[in-house]
Amino acid sequence: MNKRNIFLWALYDFANSIVMIVFMLYFSQWLVIDKGVSDFWYNASFIFSTILLVLTGPIVSVLADKKGRCFSFFYKNTILLYFLYTLLALLILFIPEQRILAILLFILGNFVYQSSFIFYNSFLNEIALPEKRGFISGIGNASNWLGQIIGLLLVLPFASGSLYLFGEVGRAQVFLPAVFFFIILSLPMLLFFKKQEFLEQTSVNFSHVKEEYKNVFIQAKTLFIIPGVSMFLLAYFFFNDAVLTLSNNFPIAMEKVFHASDVQKTLILIIILVASVIGSVLCGYLGDRFGLKRVLLWILFGWIIIVPLLGISPNITMVGILVIIMGILFGGIWAVSRALLSRLVPKDKLNYGFSFYTISERFASFLGPLTWSGIVVFTSKTNGLNYRFAIVSMTIFIIIGFFLMRKVKYKN
């Protein structure tokens, strides 16, 4: 294993998690609470970014696999991400009344952010030996959680008003610093990662892309007939549906149900993230030792218990206790599932396999937000119970994912 590549790979996860957690925590509140936009439109932004990912993800991944230029695609994707998030941060600061434009940029930024993981996740097969992928995947996830903790701490002075840049005051101040740290810390991966790719000189033209669209269903069939892959992706879609929807809407729910301040929400998220760091490495190690599928089932069973308890929590103190367990499960679920897929999919189809992994992850941002928004909107006159109902409803998706995962054909 190349230790430098592992470090750079983990550092990139650390870097992009800074911008991810800041936009997840503060953009939702800036849009829904500060600007009075409906929860529906915030959740709809994930639906639209998912549609873009579904239309482009498989095609781009096939081109990267065929041309052996995974890193080149990843590089250009990251540069585009720099541009979109910088533009959105500046728009929020200087022309905050342009809410529709802000939502559009958020959709594009989220789409490009998720697209990067099609290539980023496939690097796991390159930097880690098969018997170490659970552990290395856990290190990557631990870096992600650590980055989120640092990101929250870095922007808290801007959110609280202790530090001020320029433009609109309040939550609008946090986005530009987050983008700055993301760019600085992710650049080493772009500049120094040792690539293993052949450079085919054939240009990618319109006819080539058109041909790949014709072949996408054929490629999908070859992927889904691999033992365990189709059932894994279906299971992943359901349980990840619940986890992503909960995480995306958690800050709003904390304010609407428990009237938590930004400082309280930040502290709760830090608790979750610290526990996630432990969960990522611990569950990755346990996956290598006891079997990735078996450990993933343990994690899902834990989620089935913890989500309803979170929904019926009587106060913020109880939430603070529950989120410790939630954080461990949060860290483990992606570390183990990513490693499991890398063992199910052959090396020559990894980019394509991870494109469907990412699509399954993002498509969860379709059904989940619709369910959440429907419950919140249609039970809005229940004095905060609507958000509790929405939280508990996510358990259904996890239960479905649990039973589907049991059917995955994989020898631990």
Lowest mean pLDDT among 80-94, 280-294, 387-401: 280-294
Chain center to CA of 239: 13
Query: Cα separation of 142 and 9, whole Å?
Result: 12
Q: Cβ contacts of residue 200 below 8 Å, gap of 6+?
A: 66, 67, 68, 69
The mean pLDDT value for 288-315 works out to 90
For helices 350-378 and 39-67, the axis angle rounded to 10 degrees is 170
Residue 23, pLDDT > 60, answer yes
Residue 198, pLDDT > 50, answer no
pLDDT in tens, 302-355: 999 999 998 888 888 888 888 899 888 988 887 788 788 777 776 666 655 666
Three-state SS across 1-43? CCHHHHHHHHHHHHHHHHHHHHHHHHHHHHHHHHCCCCHHHHH
Per the CB < 8 A criterion, the answer to whether 405 and 232 are in contact is yes
Q: Domain 3-192+216-406 adopts which CATH fold?
A: Growth Hormone; Chain: A; (1.20.1250)
- Percent with pLDDT over 70 in the chain: 81
- What pLDDT does 200 receive? 47
Nearest to 228 by CA among 298, 284, 293: 293
Residue 220, pLDDT > 70, answer no
Residue 205, pLDDT > 70, answer no
For helices 39-67 and 229-258, the axis angle rounded to 10 degrees is 150
The mean pLDDT value for 142-147 works out to 82
- What pLDDT does 199 receive? 45
The mean pLDDT value for 151-157 works out to 89
Residue 46, pLDDT > 70, answer yes
In three-state secondary structure terms, 34 is: helix
DSSP state of 291: -
Token couple for 360: 């399954």
Average pLDDT of the chain is 81
50 compared with 76, residue with greater pLDDT: 76
- What pLDDT does 345 receive? 73
Residue 202, pLDDT > 90, answer no
Between the two ends of the chain, the Cα-to-Cα distance in Å is: 23
Residue 214, pLDDT > 70, answer no
In three-state secondary structure terms, 98 is: coil
Residue 245, pLDDT > 80, answer yes
- Percent with pLDDT over 90 in the chain: 18
Query: Cα separation of 55 and 47, whole Å?
Result: 13
Residue 102, pLDDT > 50, answer yes
| Cut 0.85: pTM above it | no
- What pLDDT does 187 receive? 93
DSSP state of 129: -
pLDDT band at 201 (very low <50, low <70, confident <90, very high): very low
Residue 297, pLDDT > 50, answer yes
Residue 80, pLDDT > 80, answer yes
pLDDT band at 359 (very low <50, low <70, confident <90, very high): low
The mean pLDDT value for 108-130 works out to 80
Residue 81, pLDDT > 90, answer yes
Per the CB < 8 A criterion, the answer to whether 223 and 94 are in contact is no
Residue 92, pLDDT > 70, answer yes
pLDDT band at 127 (very low <50, low <70, confident <90, very high): confident
Q: Please tell me the total number of residues recorded for the chain in this structure.
A: 412
Residue 157, pLDDT > 60, answer yes
23 compared with 68, residue with greater pLDDT: 23
Question: Domain residue spans in the chain?
Answer: 3-192+216-406
How is the chain split among helix, strand and coil, in percent rounded to 5? Answer: 85, 0, 15
Nearest to 178 by CA among 87, 78, 89, 79: 89
The mean pLDDT value for 103-123 works out to 85
